[in-house]
Amino acid sequence: QVQLVESGGGLVQAGGSLRLSCAASGRTFSSYAMGWFRQAPGKEREFVGAVDWVGTRTDYAHSVKGRFTISRDNAKNTVFLQMNSLKPEDTAVYYCGAAVAWVPSRVNLYAYWGQGTQVTVSS
């Protein structure tokens, strides 16, 4: 079992940057592909980005491509989401998830989730 804890959210002005972290417990972190998703009020959880087990393959939603970068440090059991050029429409609760298979955007196939961290972008 994997426990995930997100951090790094906050309030930022449009055009600003934030770096989210997701710390995982356990010794099997490198066995999981990791994804970031977000959920705004009244909307479904949507895919943001994912990174494979060793950090060599990534995938992004079209809406964040070129602005967000996902990476991982298996020695520290942590996955990161660097968010640049933030827009008000990026406002949401951001969640990290762990999946055994490479299923970047398939939210229902992620086995473990963190509690989320709020990101608010003001205009």
Question: Across the 123 residues of the chain, what is the mean pLDDT of every consecutive 10-residue run?
Answer: 96 98 92 97 97 96 98 97 98 97 95 97 97
Q: What is the pLDDT of residue 1?
A: 84
Q: Which of 35, 27, 50 is nearest to 98 (CA)?
A: 35
Q: What is the pLDDT of residue 27?
A: 73
The residue written with tokens 């972008």 in the block is: 121
Q: How far apart are CA 122 and CA 44, in angstroms?
A: 21
The residue written with tokens 């949507």 in the block is: 46
